[in-house]
Amino acid sequence: MSADNLADDRLAQLLQRSLQENAADFFPAASPFAATVPQEDDFPSLWQEIAKTLLPAGSSNRQPSGKIDTAPIDAVPVPPIPAETVPVLPVSVPRDFDIAAIRNDFPLLSEKVHGKPLIWFDNGATTQKPRAVIERLTYFYEHENSNVHRGAHDLAARATDAYENARRIVRQFLHASSPNEIVFVRGTTEAINLVAAAWGRDNIHRGDEILLSHLEHHANIVPWQLLAQETGAVIKVIPVDANGDLLLNDYTDRLRSGKVKLAAVTQVSNALGTVTPAAEMVRIAHQFGAKVLIDGAQSVAHLAADVQKLDADFFVFSGHKIFAPTGIGVLYGKEEILQTMRPYQSGGGMITDVTFEKAEYQPAPGRFEAGTGNIADAVALGTALEYVRSAGLESIKQYEHRLLTHTLNEMEQIPGIRIIGTPRERAGVISFVHDRLNTEEINQALAAEGIALRAGHHCAQPILRRFGCESTVRASLAFYNTLEETDFFINTLKNIVVR
């Protein structure tokens, strides 16, 4: 260890020891929100950041050495952080997947519209929030609200711990190898734009190809179109068959050219519900030297995510699609790739040193989190993911499959109804049209009965046009929906189309 880094580590350890000795003042044992503080090796940069801020001038260009060395310095042993308490809302979901108890956790599901119970079948657009998430937000603003990093006061420490704990929860949920691979963004759209700008501009050039599927949401089309216009690259499209499944042979053939630098593919179609063979597509793309971005916006609430097994170079999702607040999302990127990428936005927080001649940048993920982020909603995202994990994604998948199968079987018996797409595997979404009524008429009639769906192109015009549609009605389900709700929806739809 260099003398500079030794000085950084010495001060960092002394600060760490001071905080642990005064932990009771920061996190009272009587707090109703109790959880174990993660050990110091879960956040190697926090204490180094404090040290760098407080060291004398001239030390600001030094990079922290990483994990704090807990060996004695000047004969003063510094033990690791003990198990104390940090304000985190306890999350509990019935182990037997009690749907009534789960629904009781979501306050808005008891709402009435037009004097009738709300049936929320618009989960593909956004999900409702469990009470645990709502209360976690409230607790943050009542007890922890501060900007994160570098502040030496109590609330800054609380907010920073809560924010970085959320990053660790995301890492665990995605099975990423390091918190450094988790970048907080506003949502899927910003995450894709970040990759296009910060990776694409340096790695995609004139004549290179970007491979997209016919299933993509506009957010996974337009950023790549803009990049292609800027660089002279070419967009290629993976077709789908008459069922709405991707044609893997065509995908492989397009990769054989050797020109494809990136394949950007959804894991679940937001318009058809098609589940794509994402892991197989990543494997094939890597054989031909292409990087892969997987859009997990529609899959993350329905399918277990393991980015190491998936082996995608980038994985993106939005918090509000998985029971967290709006305005927060995640970019996962392999650490070795993130560390080579240029900043996306610039400003405070993403730098290590600034002069009028130049700036030096933080390593990932800080490099991509300029300015004050959406701290409270990041914290609440962590709570939402813990809620889902407690429920069990495999249990969620099985329950939703029963709902989806039942609903599809019943809808196929309704005269004039055409289901759009019949993929081999479907998650969460049913799009349909009627041979006489337009989609907006159906949508409004259902809404009058308290049933919230969505009519339109769902920001996925290419795939709808592939099936000859400009608009569909979309029912999108979640694990708090019930068979009784789907039956009421089916009966209501029958009454509407026979009027």
Active site members = 459
CA distances for 343 relative to 108, 164, 364, angstroms: 39, 20, 9
Paired tokens of 221: 């089309």
The structure tokens 């940048």 sit at: 361
In terms of Cβ atoms closer than 10 Å to its own Cβ (0-12, 13-18, 19+), residue 3 is exposed
**Residue 460's closest CA among 195, 121, 230, 124?**
124
**Residue 231's closest CA among 258, 197, 265?**
197
Question: 295 φ, ψ to 5°?
Answer: -85, 110
DSSP for 348-394, written as a single string:
TTSEEEE-SS-EEEPPTTGGG--SS--HHHHHHHHHHHHHHHHH-HH
Let me know: does 364 contact 198? Beta carbons within 8 Å.
Answer: no
Let me know: does 293 contact 234? Beta carbons within 8 Å.
Answer: no
How far apart CA 9 and CA 56 sit, in angstroms, is 14
Question: 412 φ, ψ to 5°?
Answer: -65, -15
How far apart CA 379 and CA 374 sit, in angstroms, is 9
Let me know: does 328 contact 304? Beta carbons within 8 Å.
Answer: no
Angle between helices 46-54 and 3-21 (to 10 degrees): 110
In terms of Cβ atoms closer than 10 Å to its own Cβ (0-12, 13-18, 19+), residue 399 is buried
| Residue 279 identity | A
Q: Judging by DSSP bridges, how do beta strands 314-318 and 291-295 pair with one another?
A: parallel
How far apart CA 439 and CA 436 sit, in angstroms, is 10
Positive or negative: CA dihedral 260, 264, 267, 268: negative
CB-based contacts of 27, cutoff 8 Å, min separation 6:
37, 84, 85, 86, 87, 158
